[in-house]
Amino acid sequence: MLTRRKILAAAAIVCTSAAINAGQIKVETADISLILDGEPGGKLDLCYFGEKLDDTAEFEYAWHITQPDTPEEYGTQLYPAYGGRFFLNPALKITHADGVMTTELVYQSHGQRAIDANRTETIVTLRDKLYDATVDLRFVAYNTENVITQEVTFGHNEPGEVTIENIASSYLTLKASNYYLTHFHGTWAREMQLVEECLTPGVKVIESKKGMRTTQSDNSAFMVSLNAPAQEYSGEVYAGALAWTGNYKMSFELDEAGLLHIIGGINPFASEIKLGAGEDFTTPAMVLTYSNQGRSSISHNLHDWTRRYNLAHGNEERPIVLNSWEGAYFTYDENVIKRMIDDAAEFGVEMFVLDDGWFGNKFPRNGDNAGLGDWQVNKKKLPHGIGALADYAVSKGLKFGIWIEPEMVNPDSELAHKHPEWIVRSGNRDLLPMRNQQLLDLTNPEVQDFVFGVFDGIMSMSPNISYVKWDANRHVDNAGSTYLAADRQSHFWYEYIKGLYSVYERIRQKYPDVEIQLCSAGGGRIDFGALKYHDEFWTSDNTNALDRLSIQYSTNLFFPAIATAAHVSTSPNHQTGMMLPLKFRFDVAMTGRLGMELQPSQLNGEEKEFASRAVVLYKQLRPVIQLGDLYRLDSPYDNDGWCANMYVTKNRGEAVVFAFSTTYHNRTQSYSIKLHGLDPDKHYLLEEVNTISGNSNYVGSGKVYSGEFLMKAGLLLPIGGAYTSMVLHLVEQ
C-alpha cells in the first residue's frame, strides 16, 4: 500500500556510524555470502553471491583489476535504474515530476542491525544524482536457514508526482559458461510442470497478468544452475521466489558479455504507480537462496525457512482431513454430511471439512451458478445450521472445517443486486463471468470489511470451527475499480493484493489458532506472499495419484510437505477417469499432508481395512514426513517409469522411503535406489509398511542395515508392475 514517507527513517535507524557509509557490505548467513561494494557517489556493485567467504579483503584489488574496462551496461550493478549508459532491462524505471525519464542511482549509505539471534537486517540507501529521490534496498539474512530476502522502497520529495513504471524486488547478476533455468508451467489440474532449459542470448520472461490465481499457469519460483543441468546433490544452484500473490514478471537476460541478469518483481503491465511528494512505495520480497550441493540443499533451506517464518503453525503436525467435495459435491443434506462424519471417525480421520454448497437461501447454492456472496446457511439443506454439524463432528472425535470463497460473487445473489459497485469492472464495459462469478473489488476498504466480515461471521457460527478452506476460482479480466480515482486505475493490480493481505492480517490477529487452507481452483495461489497467512495449500484439483507425483515433486522443490494437501480420491478418478490401486493412491497422498476426497461408504470391506491401517500408520510416520528433510531419490520426470523420495528426521535417527513404479517393467528388471540423508555410522532397522495384507513379503524387511550401506550400495526393490509402490520405514538401532 502506498504510504506517506517519513524520509525513509528506517535507514537512519540502522546506520550505526559514519564509517559504515563506505566500502564493502556483507549480507551473510551460515553458509552464504552476498558481498556488495559501494563508495559515496559511485555505483553499488555486486561483487559476489555464493558459498560463504570468510576473507573478502581481496575484492579491494581483484574486483577492480579484472573489470576496469567493462562498459557500464555490462557491469554488475546491484540495482541499476534506466539512465546513463545502462541499456539492459533495468531494475527501476521512473518518470520524474518534471518529465525527465532517466535516473542514475549512486550509493549513499548503509546500516545493519540484528533483528534477533538468527536474523540480520541490512539496508542500503541509493540516491539519484540530481533529484530528491531515494531507493532503500532491504535485505534480511536468515542465518540457520541460509535464505536472504530482498525488498525495495522508493520514495521522493520532488515538487510534484513521480511515476513508477517498473520497480523490481531484486536484480541479480551471475557469471558462468552456461545457465540452466528450471521453471514451472501448467494450468488447472496440471499445475507445476517442471521444465529445464539452457538459456541463450536474449531475454527469457516468465510472467503472469491474471491479477490473482497467478501461479495457475507459470509459477514465480525458479532455479538457475551454473555450467550444467541441475543435479540433486551436486553443483551450484541459485533459487528465487517472489512473495507476491498478484501479477509478477521474472526476466533472465543473457548479455553479450556472457553475464546473466535476473530481475524479479511486480509485473509492470498496466501498473504505473503515481507518488506524490513524501510518499513511498515498497515492493514485495524476493526470497533467495544458494547451494553448491544441488537442488536438495535448496529445498532444505526453503522448507526450513518456510516452516519457521512463512507458514502459520509451521512446526505443528497437520491433521488428516476428509473433505466433502468429491464425495458429495453440491448434492447433500444434513444426514448425508453426518454419515460422512461417522465414516471419517471410523477411519480415524481427524478433521472433517464441509466444502461448497452449504449457503444461500433466496439464491440457493446448488451449483456454481448462484448464491456466491450470500453467506447465510441454506435452511433447506442444513435446517439445524453449521453449529450443529460442527458440534456433531466434535462429538465423534473430529475437528470441523468449512469452505468459503469470500472474494467472489455470483450475479444471481443478493450481494450482487445490493452492491453492484463492489464488483471489479472496466468503466461501462461488459462484465465477463468466469465459473459464473465475478470478482469483488478489494481495493475498496468497504469490500475489505465485507470479506473480513464473511470470515468473522463464519467463525461466529460455532466455537467448534477450527479450519477454513479459502478458495478463489477466477482471475482478473477487464480490470478497473469504481473506488479508485480515474487517474489511479493503474494502481488496481497492486492495491487489490495489498487489500487482500490487509484482510489476511486482520483475520490472523483475531484468529491466530484457526487452520486456513490456501486454495485457488487448485494450485492457483502457491506463492510465499499468501502462504505466510495459511497453514497449507490445496496443491491441485487433480487428485489423480499418477499426476500428483509430478505436481507434488515440483511443488516440493520450494514448498514443504507439511503444507502440501494431498488427498486419496475414488477410482476411477473424477478428473482423469484413471483407475489406480488404493494402495498406490494412499502412498502418493502420504508424501504430503494426508487427506481423503471421496465418499467413504463407497469403499468395500477390504478397502476399508487397508484405509484404516494406512491412517494409523500415517499418524506414526507424520512427524518424519511433515517435519523432516526431503530427499528426492528419483524424479518422475526422468521417464524411466520409477520415482522415489524419502524423509529424514533432523537427527537422522528415522526415515521413510516412498518408491513408485508408474508403468510396466519386465520381469528381469528391479528398481535400484541409493538412499540419502542417513548417518553412515548408524544402523537402521528397515521394515516395509503400508502393505495390502498388513504383512511384508520383501526379503529385506526386518533386517538391520548400516547407513553407509544404504547410501553407497542401496536397495533393490521388487516393484515393476504398473502402479505398484512400496513404503519403507527406517529406525535407528
pLDDT in tens, 277-308: 999 999 999 999 999 999 999 999 999 999 99
Q: Which long-range contacts (CB under 8 A, 24 or more apart) does 7-11 make?
A: 7/155, 7/157, 8/125, 8/134, 8/136, 8/153, 8/155, 8/280, 10/123, 10/136, 10/138, 11/109, 11/110, 11/111, 11/123, 11/125, 11/136
Pick from 356, 329, 353, 331: nearest CA to 341: 353
Question: How big is the chain by its Cα radius of gyration, in Å?
Answer: 27
CB 320 within 8 A of CB 364: no
- What does the pLDDT read at residue 618? 98
Distance of CA 448 to the CA centre of its chain: 23
What is this structure's pTM?
0.96
Of residues 37, 128, 471, 527, which has the active-site annotation? 471
Residues 365 and 636 sit within 8 Å (Cβ to Cβ): no
Please give the Cα distance from 536 to 519 (Å, whole number): 9
Which of 245, 236, 254, 207 is CA-nearest to residue 298? Answer: 236
How is 11-78 classified by DSSP, letter by letter? HHHH---GGGGSEEEEEE-SSEEEEEEE-TTSPPEEEEEEE--S--TTHHHHHHHHSTT--GGGS-BS
* Predicted local distance difference test score (pLDDT) of residue 22: 58
Q: What is the CATH number of domain 3-175+245-286?
A: 2.70.98.60
Cell of 537: 495449500
Quote the pLDDT of residue 61. Answer: 65
Q: Give the CA count within 13 Å in the CB-facing half-sphere of 492.
A: 27
Catalytic residue check, 280: no
Query: How much is the pLDDT for 56?
Result: 85
Using CA atoms, how far apart are residues 303 and 560, in angstroms rounded to an integer?
Answer: 5
What 3-state DSSP class applies to 133? Answer: strand
Grid coordinates of 41: 557517489
The strand pair at 629-634 and 724-732 is best described as unpaired
Domain ranges of the chain: 3-175+245-286, 632-732
Low-confidence ranges of the chain (pLDDT < 70): 1-22, 61-75
Q: What is the pLDDT of residue 576?
A: 97
Helices 334-347 and 605-627, interaxial angle, to 10°?
70
Q: For residue 268, say if its preceding peptide bond is cis, omega within 30 degrees of 0.
A: no
pLDDT at 66: 44
Q: Measured between alpha carbons, how far is 73 from 257 in angstroms, rounded to an integer?
A: 10
Active site residue 640: no
State the pLDDT at residue 350: 98
CB atoms within 10 A of CB 335: 8
Selecting among 527, 541, 587, 634, the annotated active-site residue is: 541
Q: Please tell me the distance from the alpha carbon of residue 191 to that of residue 209, in angstroms, as a whole number.
A: 17
- SS3 state at 659: strand
d(CA 608, CA 692) in angstroms, rounded, equals 11
CATH number of 632-732: 2.60.40.1180
